[in-house]
Amino acid sequence: MYKIMMFVAIFGIYSLLTLQIVISQEVPTGNPNDFKVKTCLHSVSYAGVWRGQAELTVDEFLAKAHELGFDGVMLMAKKPHVSPFDYDETARKQLKARIEELELKLVALAGYTDFTAGVDKSGIPNVEIQATYVGEISRLARDLGTDMVRIFTGYEREGIPFDKQYALVVEGLKLAGSKAAEYGVTLAVQNHHDIALHHDAMYWLLKEVNLPNVKAGWDAWSPTLERLSSEEIRQSIIKMQPFIVHTIAADYVRLPRFHYEHELTNYIRQEDVLRAVPMGDGIIDYKTFFTTLKDIGYQGYIAYELCEVLDGGGSVQNLDKAAKSFLQYVKQFE
């Protein structure tokens, strides 16, 4: 009996310690004095992902972030950057040492999930597969010295009942959150994919998932593309305050599109295409967004990404110019 009681006591202490690690990402305090401008550069900005964009190696990117003066970095957890397939134990130690040598903070790994993928093929356990991937990159995150992984919900597929797709997202976040907890990692769910894009839906989703290490990476550009007003964006932050641990900034302009209809001898308006521009030059009201983050005592970093075709092209020099303009832009909120 004594041994059983000792086991229960030790397990209880271990569980408490684990919980403390899992929820180490701090949510906003509500005190504006606790807000600090901490800058982070997302490696997708130099990954050659978008048309014409230059591609740097991981080490070149880290040196670039240091050279530009960023406080921290966010690394893509996939090729061509930090895929778990490419990083064994030795490589992980070397990368962690390099980040520390450059005096950078590894803020997060960027995971890439879509929990509704394969919803029409129920025989394949896609949710389990993706949750396992999140577990692997959570282990990678721990080994590299960060306790946060950014992930997504799911894209909505036509012809499939919405609630069936929503349920897969809930299941996926619960499974992924449980795997991430094994490594002391918090998942920051970004408002990016279709499911639970709006703040009311995301708030409901995270409450339904109800795990202490499944939080929100809340951005301004998605609400803007939803055509929310500046006041509605402010309210989205206030609503999401209990969950916000991360944010990624990018600015865009809308370029109008039209389709010529021959029989009408006329043009039909199409959805705009978005193109990236330096911070402050686009359509997104970051003054309201960052001011509200300050008002609620946001504790996390402000990550910057260049994730679309950029005005002026994708050369390293032009990417650097945009990154520097971000650093100058956010100084006003210090």
Q: Looking at residue 12, what is its pLDDT?
A: 43
Q: Looking at residue 267, what is its pLDDT?
A: 98
Residue 23's pLDDT band (cuts 50, 70, 90): low
3-state secondary structure of 309: coil
Q: Looking at residue 14, what is its pLDDT?
A: 40
Which of 153, 211, 282, 248 is closest to 22 using CA atoms? Answer: 211
Q: Looking at residue 77, what is its pLDDT?
A: 98
Q: How far apart are CA 236 and CA 190, in angstroms?
A: 13
Q: Looking at residue 271, what is its pLDDT?
A: 96
Token pair of 86, please?
């490419």
Token pair of 187, please?
């998942």
3-state secondary structure of 195: coil
Q: Looking at residue 25, what is its pLDDT?
A: 87
Lowest model confidence (mean pLDDT) among 10-14, 121-125, 230-234, 304-308:
10-14
What angle, rounded to 10 degrees, do the helices at 162-181 and 126-144 form?
A: 30
Helices (H), 23-125: 58-68, 89-101
3-state secondary structure of 247: strand
Q: Could you give all domains of the chain from N- to C-terminal order, each with its CATH number?
A: 31-333 (3.20.20.150)
